Structure 1
């Protein structure tokens, strides 16, 4: 359960990073497809580096003498590698383009105005 929650958090972190970049490009006037391509190109190096560092970090838990720590470390390392090299660059852009088609041609990435009691 711990590994699942950690992988979910790491995966969503990368996806939020990408979606934020796509939104920035759409606001600059690019189409959704162009924005996704730019986001993958410009953020790819950062995401791959972060994923590799995180995979090595979690993989280093395998040298522990405790079996449960070894299992958690390897499952997290494998999960991060899958998320970094398969899910993020291929699956997420494909889903974004499919959502574009299902919403009538728009990803609904317009600027959202948020108001908090302490920030105007």
Structure 2
């Protein structure tokens, strides 16, 4: 089983970080078919996510996001690509960009690579 660990520091405070975590969960549900359960705490929140082949949690505090995920055998082969897309999406969220647009761009890039690799125009 492959593991992903990502930490991103921020200066948002817990209330605003929580809002971004809700947006991240919305994108995960809509675009990745993730089941997400959000637990609010006084000092930190936990967002648990799960789908076939992947599960983990996003820890949300007043000063950082910490994502830990485990990928099954099939998705584990794509760990580096998955990790880089998660990093890109978290960074876009922190830059207050639309997370749906970030996901749509990643899908378009992936389709372009696949098309270029197959020799189709």
- Which is richer in helix? 1
TM-score of the alignment, normalized to the shorter chain, above 0.5: no
Q: Give 1 or 2 for the bigger CA radius of gyration.
A: 1
TM-score by length of 1: 0.28
- Which is richer in strand? 2
